[in-house]
Amino acid sequence: MEKFYVKKVFEVSYAHRLLNYNGKCENLHGHNVKVEVILEVNKLDNQMMVMDFIKLKEFKNRLAGNLSGGMKQKLSLGCALMGKPEILLLDEPTNGLDPVSRKELWKILYSLLKEKATILISTSYLDEAENCTKIILMDRGNILFEGNPAYIKNSFNFPVLEIMLDFPKEATEILKNENYVLSIIAYGDRIHLILKEFSFKEKIYEVLLKKGFKVIKEREVLPSIEDIFIFKMEKNGK
């Protein structure tokens, strides 16, 4: 039986042309594979915004298969966004992207939301989850909590103390064993402590000063989604 080999259109096409491709596969049975590629001229309001996001000018004469992993991801996103879809499903789209490109992606998603698009996105970046109108946080297939991010944060039942100090990681190791600390996370030069009661902050200061830490600044804050997620995971014994 004669064999047919089909190369991936994505890999062998030039980056700038992929934005205008619509692909269709027919008769996908046995070895009989027909691939039809239709070139369409898109006249969409968001075309220039998408092209600017993925920086096509710099890579327009390079085959998509020769692009870096991060740029391939940007190009795939650009192809998905070109059609200005009413429903958009994105599986961890910002993985491998630099911080600037991540922000640009969210700008594009917000513009789609304004036009009544429905977007379902999965992400391992919990700070990104706070950009969504509704979130569902899961662990091993089980839903830990869901709802509007602002509502979840404002309805959290325990106080959160943020402390900026000189050695946050070392302070975290010491304070996590205190029985009035329900959860603790280090964020760069500061730590977030979820306490049984806010009055326990005085004991926190005593411990830190006794161990020689320098407290630069402290304040009570709303929990981040990551704070609540870690708290739920620890509470469930994960």
* pLDDT digit string, tens, across residues 175-219: 998 999 999 999 999 999 999 999 999 999 999 999 999 999 999
Give domain status of residue 101, yes or no.
yes
Is 170 a residue whose pLDDT tops 90? Answer: yes
Beta strands in 48-187 (DSSP E): 87-91, 118-122, 135-139, 142-147, 160-165, 181-187
238 lies in some domain: no
Q: Which residue is associated with the tokens 């991010």?
A: 149
List, for residues 96-123, the tens digit of each pLDDT value.
788 888 887 888 788 778 878 899 999 8
Q: Report the CATH number at residue 58.
A: 3.40.50.300
Examine residue 138 and state whether it is found in any structural domain, yes or no: no
| One-character DSSP codes across 156-221 | --S-EEEEEES-HHHHHHHHTTSTTEEEEEEETTEEEEEESSGGGHHHHHHHHHHTT--EEEEEEE
Residues above pLDDT 90, as percent of the chain: 39
The domain boundary residue, chosen from 74, 104, 124: 124
Last residue of a domain, one of 77, 99, 124: 124
Same domain as 162, residue 68: no
Q: How many domains does the chain have?
A: 2
Place of tokens 């999965």: 122
pLDDT over threshold 90, residue 54: no
pTM attached to this predicted model: 0.71
Mean pLDDT, to the nearest integer, of 13-36?
A: 48
Per-residue confidence (pLDDT) for residue 184, from 0 to 100? 95
More confident residue, 71 or 21: 71
Relative to beta strand 87-91, strand 118-122 is parallel
In terms of residue numbers, what domain contains 192? 157-221
Q: Is residue 235 part of a domain?
A: no
Q: What CATH number does residue 166 fall under?
A: 3.30.70.100
Q: How far apart are the first and last CA of the chain?
A: 54
Which helix (H) or strand (E) segment is 24 a member of?
strand 21-29
Q: What is the pLDDT of residue 17?
A: 57
Q: Are residues 97 and 24 in the same domain?
A: yes
User: Given pLDDT bands bounded at 50, 70 and 90, which one contains residue 57?
Assistant: low
H/E element, 63 = none
Residue type, 180: Y
The pLDDT score that the predictor gives to residue 13 is: 58
- Are 171 and 217 found together in one domain? yes
